[in-house]
Chains A and B, each alone.
Chain A
Amino acid sequence: MTAPPPSLRVLVCGSADRGDDGAALQAVAHVLPRLEPDVRVRLEVRRCIQLDAADVIEVADGEACLVLDTVVGVEPGAVVELALDDLADRGTIGPRSSHALPIDQVLGIARAVRGTLPRGRFVGIGGKWFGFGQVRSRALRDGMADFEGVVESAIVQLAQPTLA
C-alpha cells in the first residue's frame, strides 16, 4: 500500500538551544502524536532553523504550507496566525537572528519566484528570551497550550484534501 502524496508541508523554524526560539519545534513534537493517523500521513514536516525561500518554493501545486516560528513584535506568549500572503505583504514580524532575511522578505521572494504562495498559514508565538542555553520564558510557556491548539487546528484544516 502506498501512502498518498503529502497535502500539507509543515515548515518548523527555530533553534532548540535558544530559549524561546525552540517553541515551534516543541509544539510540533507535542502535537504530532496527538493527530489522527489519516492526518499524520498527509504531512511532510521539515525542520529548518531559519525559513528559506527554497523550502516554500518547493511546495507543490495543490499542496498547502504551514510555517511555524517564534516571533518578536508581539507580546511574549501571544499567538499570531495569518495567511502566508498577508505575512508577505506585512513586515512587522521579524526573526531573531542576525543571519536571516526577515520572514516577510523570504515569503516575498518565494512569491515572486513561484508566482503565488501556496495556500497556507503562518502561526507564531511571541518570544522573549533568545540567548544560547536560556530556558523558555515564563510568558512563552504559559502561551504554549494555546499555541499548540492553534497549530493543531491549522494542521487539521490545511491537511484536508481540497477539490481544487
Chain B
Amino acid sequence: MHAGDLRFQVQNLTRVEGEGSLHLLVRDGTVAEARLQIFEAPRYFEALVVGRTPDEVLDIVSRICGICPVAYQMSAVHAFEDLFGVEVEPATRSLRRLLYCAEWIESHALHIYLLHAPDFLGYPSAVELARDHRQLVADGLRLKQIGNRLLALLGGRAIHPVSVRVGGWSRAPRRKQLEAMQADLHEALRLARATVDVALGLEAPAFEREPRLVALHHPHEYPFNEGRIVSSDGLNLAPQAWGEAFHEVQVPWSNALQARGSDGLPYLLGPAARLVLDHGQLHPLAREALDASGALESIRRNPYRSIVARAIELVHATAEAIEIVDGYVPPAEPAVAWEARPGTAAWATEAPRGLLFHRYEVGEDGKVAAATIVPPTSQNQAAIEADIATFAPRVLDLPMDAATHRLEQLIRAYDPCISCATHFLDLTIQHEATT
C-alpha cells in the first residue's frame, strides 16, 4: 500500500453530455468511495420545456437520447394524456407498442452485438470481432437495421421521430405499409432466437449479488407504456406515483443528482428487472426461450447475464411486432381531439434501459411550468456504484489498463446511456494508507 494518489489518464471520447469517469478511493483493500460519473441527468431539457405546449415538449424531449428517443416521447405523451383525460384509439395504442418494439429491437441489437459481445469474446471492439466473426456481426447489424426501418416507417425517421402527438399520431401508417415490413420482422424473429443461443454461450464472469429490482408490471402484457411500478421487495404503485417510493438525492462530490429508494438504497432497472418481475407476461416464444435457458436466476443475480435478458427481450419485441402488424386496422382518425388542463402530469414507461419517469406541471395556459425527467441510467447509477464497490477489489492489483478495462466491462453490462466507444472511462484510483 503506498500513500498518495494513483492517477491515470485513459483516452476517452468527448461526449456532448460529459465524460465518463470513475474515481475509486481504496482503504485497506476495500473500496471506501466509488464515484461514478457517466451520465448527466437532462437538466437542460427540464428547463427547455418550460413555457412549451405538450406537442412541442414531445419534439424537444426526443432529443434527450439519440438511442431511445421513443422512450422520452412515450413517457411524456402518456403523462399529458393522463392529466388531460385523453383516451386514444386502440389502434393508436397498438402502434405505440409497435414503436417501442422497434426501439427495443434497435437498441438491444446494438448493445448485444456491437458493444457487449466483444467484451465476452476478448475483442477490443466490434471491428475486431467482425473480422473473426463476420456473420455474427452481420446478424446484429441486420437486426438493428430492421428496428430502424420500422422506426422510420412509424416515426418519419429512425432517430427523433416526428409523428408522435398528444392524442395519437400526425399520420398513421396504412396497412400495406406495415405489411411490407412483415418479411423483415420474421427474419428479425429468427435472428432474435439465434441471439439467445449466442448470448447463452457467452461465459459470464462470476459475480453475483442480491439487487433490488424495479419495473413496470401489467397483468396482461409485457410492460411498455402501461403498468404499475413494482419491485422485488413488494412495492406496488401507480405509474404517476414514482415520487412516493423514490427520490433524487445529491451526491456530495458533484452537482449530479442520483435516484434512490425512500430508504436511501439503490435499485436496478432494465431487462433483468423486467424479466424477473414480468416473465409471466412475455410473448410465448420469448417465454419458451427463457424457460429453455434456465437462466432466470443467474440473470437476476449476475449483471453480466443481462446480455441474455436483452436477447430474450429481442425475441419478445420481434414476436409482438409481428402480431401487432398482423392485427393492424388503421385508426379512424390518426389522433383524437384534446384540450389541455392545468395540473400535474406524471407517468412512467419502460425504455430499453429501464423505467423512465416524467413529471410536468401544466399551468392554466396549457403550457409546462416545471418538469422532472428521471432517466433509467441515472436511476441505475447507485446500483452500478454498489456493484463496482464490491467488484473492484478483484482488479486493484492489475495494471491500470487492465483494471480500467475490466471496470468498463462491468459498467457496460448495465447498458448505460453513455458514449458507445470502447474506451470511455477516465479511471482514477486513490489509495489511502491507514498506517
Contact = CB atoms under 8 A, between A and B. Distances in A.
A24 to B, nearest CB: 15
B389 interface: no
Interface string B1-25: 0000000000001111100000000
Interface in B55-86: 63, 65-67
Contacts of A100: 66, 420
Give the one of A50, A102, A112 with max B CB within 10 A.
A112
Nearest to A88: B127
B145 A54 contact: yes
Given A49-B157, A49-B159, A113-B134, A97 B16 contact: yes
B402 interface: no
Given A94-B13, A112-B131, A105 B126 contact: yes
Contact of B137 (A17, A96, A109): A109
A47 B159 CA distance: 11
A109 B130 contact: yes
A98 B419 contact: yes
A84 interface: no
B141 A97 contact: no
B144 interface: yes
A105 B65 CA distance: 21
Most buried by B among A17, A53, A94: A53
Chain B interface mostly? loop
B418 A98 contact: yes
B16 A130 contact: yes
Contacts, number: 76
B126 A109 contact: yes
Interface in B379-435: 417-421
Contacts of A59: none
B134 A98 contact: no
A102 B421 contact: yes
Nearest to B68: A99
A123 B421 CA distance: 22
A105 B127 CA distance: 6
Q: Tell me the dominant secondary structure on chain A's binding face.
A: loop
A6 B67 CA distance: 30
A98 B419 CA distance: 5
Contacts of B127: 105, 108-109, 112
Given A99-B66, A101-B420, A113 B141 contact: yes
A67 interface: no
Contacts of B130: 108-109, 112-113
A99 B141 contact: no
A99 B420 contact: yes
B146 to A, nearest CB: 9
Given A49-B160, A108-B127, A113-B137, A102 B145 contact: no
A131 B134 CA distance: 36
A44 B248 CA distance: 49
A9 to B, nearest CB: 15
A11 to B, nearest CB: 13
Given A52-B145, A100-B420, A113-B138, 20 more contacts: A49-B157, A52-B148, A54-B144, A54-B145, A57-B138, A94-B14, A96-B16, A97-B66, A98-B15, A98-B16, A98-B417, A98-B418, A99-B65, A99-B420, A101-B126, A101-B421, A105-B125, A112-B127, A112-B134, A130-B16
Interface of B: 13-17, 48, 63, 65-67, 114, 125-127, 130-131, 134, 137-138, 141-142, 144-145, 148, 157-160, 417-421
6 contacts: A53-B141, A94-B13, A105-B125, A112-B131, A113-B137, A132-B48
